[in-house]
Chains A and B, each alone.
Chain A
Amino acid sequence: MAKRYVTIWFRYLVTDWMIRHRPGLRKESFVFAAPVHGRMMIAAACKNAEANGITAGIPVADAKAIDPSLHVLDNRHGLEEKLLRTLAEWSIRYTPTAAVDLPDGLTLDASGCAHLWGGEEAYVKEIVSKLGAAGFDVRAAMADTIGTAWAVARYGEGAISIVQSGDQATALLPLHPAALRPDPAVLVRLQKLGFRRIAAFANMPRAALRRRFGEDLLTRLSQALGQAEEFIQPIFINPPYQERLNCLEPIRTAAGIEIAIRRLLDTLCKRLESEGKGLRSAVLKCFRVDGKTVEAAIGTNRASHNAAHLYKLFELKIPTIEPALGIELFVLEAPKVEETEQQQEKLWATGPGLEDAAVAELLDRLAGKAGVGAIRRFLPDEHYWPERSVTPAASLKDKPADGWRLDRPRPVLLLPHPEAIEVSAPIPDYPPMLFRYRGRLHEIRKADGPERIEREWWLDGGEHRDYYTVEDEQGQRYWLFRSGHYNEDQRHQWFIHGFFA
């Protein structure tokens, strides 16, 4: 069967995408720019800018001279590739084989697909109108070879061009040599020699062409004419981690739900295990007879494909699943999947620890019931201010960047908010003699300090604190501080902040 290819050219790929995100830019003239050798160069220009003669490759300063109201946005590296990849994934609905053609196109292998849309014309029209509705200015062409389709889409006339099978030469010959995708250097040489159309040199002896322009141009020409094969690298879409279970009879009991979860987990975990992956989160969707959907979600601390453990996590959620009249379809999805770590067998026995899988599984169970926010582990943070000196660890694997400090005394219990106390202090910068906290008088026998901790003015405002470690007559040890400098008029400037062991 003859091959048919569709090439789609996104004329303003990045800028059209930007307009989709910020519709306010539609009427404006804007460009994406990136620094090249210290100059801001335009990487992509929108339609309005291009109408004024501002194109990719000219410096922003020159463009500003042409149009002072020009908006300049930062170019994001790799954005085109990401966009094209998404668009290629979208176009899988038209053909099973789609490829990204950097920097601004897609190539679809449409062999045997067009008749499903009622002919080639309707097929290409459908693609172009769908993309047009999404805001992309595209041109598409269909031909027997990728080269011809590419050339016609970009250098032909009209948004949609269909080159009939075997008509490559007629379509190609009147076009500009750039349509053959030659090297820029070769293109310059062609221009210099006055070749303004492909027809001017297509029928020359191949040996002469090869000597002057190299093998590459000849390959391009024969690929476009269908005399040589050209290959594309189709994108591969990972099938989603999803399992479905249809029920013959609607399920209404907890036992039934348990069996369903077990079965779904077994098949999903088998697939994850064979791929060396584990899930970090899973959602169970139960479709009920009455048309409603009940969901139960779990999360894990480390990627897991242990069906028994995952079942335990779901077991905690079963009481929240309301079957009502019955559930007819269960769908288990794993939206977050990660590579599992290879556990290396250890020759020597070390003690259990945070790396232990059992601990991670325990924390999953606790988080399943109490919520993820309830479980915390702390790492030192680079702040002297006591409330900010620890920071919650993001994961079980985090290690403190620098060790815990030992040089300053810190209390075992820290009050969440310092509480005001009444004191009698002799003279500035001396610890108090007595203080009254919650109605009880404490007479201070021993004291250490002060340790002044300044407030981090870039984070919040207020007074500094002078901390004292004090011990009362019963040997109970406290952490007190005076907020700000000693001031005779000011009362309530002493606080208790913690208890020492």
Chain B
Amino acid sequence: MMRGKADIIAALQKEILSLQGYRAEGDSTAVNVGLEAITRSFPNAIFPTGAIHEFLTEAPEHTAATGGFMAGLLASLMQRGGACIWVSTSRRLFPPSLKTFGVEPDRFIFVDLQREKDVLWAMEESLKCGGLAAVIADLGEITFTQSRRVQLAVEHSGVTCFLLRTNPRKLNTIASIARWKITPLPSQLEEGMPGVGFPRWQVELLKVRNGYPGMWKVEWSAGGFVMLPERAVAATAAGQKRKAG
């Protein structure tokens, strides 16, 4: 009897997830971003596209790390062709560096605006356009209501939205599917080798809708993400393993 109940609940949960726009397991249109351990914390173990991903940064060093991580994600999102729009008020991104992460920098369109209000408008307009792979908006503040508007646009067009929130005054809840925080980690080289190694980050999933938050170590090498053994972070990740709304 108990077994039957659990099955029914699992089936119902799956149905709810599909109603909420998550892709079912084995969907051929799903994008493989190459982060198996991290995608497992999303529902159905599929990296959600056509949703809002929120990235928190505090310092320019973190913004740079987030930019690298995001470019890595975009590389797989843009595999089937497509262009990206990067909306911001104070852009410092250096386009040639994107090539390191496997993206063609000339497929990025940069929209540099004066006011944050315009950034919101431009982001929403861009997200309504189905011809794009992703829209990245560099935005400090966004209210829940504004994020709902963005969410509606995203649901309609299926374009992925990356919100880069630099130093937000208030860390409010917004209608995002995941809240990420990327911080740089010291790179490591073979014993006795000089120089700086491959970029290495600590990837934190602070919030995941219908999923499990966690913390991982990721390195970008040989043109792809490499998950590092998480001996050091496993303990904290296990402690934080709780379901977030």
A and B interact physically: yes
Q: A-side interface residues toward B, CB under 8 Å?
A: 350-354, 356-359, 361-363, 365-366, 369-370, 374-380, 386, 389-390, 393, 398-400, 404-406, 409-416, 445-448, 469-471, 473-478, 498-501
Partner of A501, one of B83, B97, B186: B97
Residues of chain A lying within 8 A (CB to CB) of residue B64: 411-413, 477, 498-501
Besides the known contacts A404-B104, A498-B94, A501-B65, 7 further A-B residue pairs in the complex with CB atoms under 8 A apart:
A362-B126, A370-B122, A377-B110, A405-B99, A412-B68, A477-B187, A499-B63
Residues of chain B lying within 8 A (CB to CB) of residue A376: 109-112
23 contacts between A and B (CB under 8 A): A357-B131, A362-B132, A369-B118, A375-B109, A375-B110, A375-B112, A376-B112, A378-B95, A378-B108, A390-B96, A393-B106, A410-B96, A410-B97, A412-B64, A412-B65, A414-B97, A448-B196, A475-B184, A477-B187, A477-B196, A500-B68, A501-B97, A501-B184
Given A352-B133, A389-B96, A412-B67, verify A476-B125 contact (CB < 8 Å). no
Residues of chain A lying within 8 A (CB to CB) of residue B67: 412-413, 501
Whether the pair B83, A370 counts as a contact (CB closer than 8 A) is: no
Distance to closest chain A CB from B1 (angstroms):
49
Whether the pair A363, B133 counts as a contact (CB closer than 8 A) is: no
Residues of chain A lying within 8 A (CB to CB) of residue B186: 445-446, 471, 473-475
Whether the pair A446, B187 counts as a contact (CB closer than 8 A) is: yes
Task: Write the chain B residue with the least CB distance to A398.
Answer: B106
Task: Write the chain B residue with the least CB distance to A362.
Answer: B129
Task: Write the chain A residue with the least CB distance to B122.
Answer: A366
In the assembled complex, the Cα of A446 lies from the Cα of B220 at a distance in Å of 18
Partner of A359, one of B98, B131, B220: B131
Whether the pair B92, A352 counts as a contact (CB closer than 8 A) is: no
In the assembled complex, the Cα of A354 lies from the Cα of B195 at a distance in Å of 38
Taking the complex as formed, is B130 at the interface, i.e. its CB lies under 8 A from any CB of chain A?
yes
Distance to closest chain B CB from A443 (angstroms):
12
Whether the pair B94, A411 counts as a contact (CB closer than 8 A) is: yes
Given A352-B83, A412-B68, A445-B186, verify A476-B61 contact (CB < 8 Å). yes
Given A358-B129, A413-B93, A475-B186, verify A352-B82 contact (CB < 8 Å). yes
Residues of chain B lying within 8 A (CB to CB) of residue A469: 195-196
Whether the pair A378, B106 counts as a contact (CB closer than 8 A) is: yes
In the assembled complex, the Cα of A469 lies from the Cα of B184 at a distance in Å of 15
Taking the complex as formed, is B76 at the interface, i.e. its CB lies under 8 A from any CB of chain A?
no
Taking the complex as formed, is B37 at the interface, i.e. its CB lies under 8 A from any CB of chain A?
no
Partner of B96, one of A352, A405, A416, A499: A405
Whether the pair A350, B108 counts as a contact (CB closer than 8 A) is: no
Given A353-B107, A499-B63, verify A386-B131 contact (CB < 8 Å). no
Distance to closest chain B CB from A143 (angstroms):
63
Given A366-B111, A415-B92, verify A474-B195 contact (CB < 8 Å). no
Residues of chain A lying within 8 A (CB to CB) of residue B122: 366, 369-370
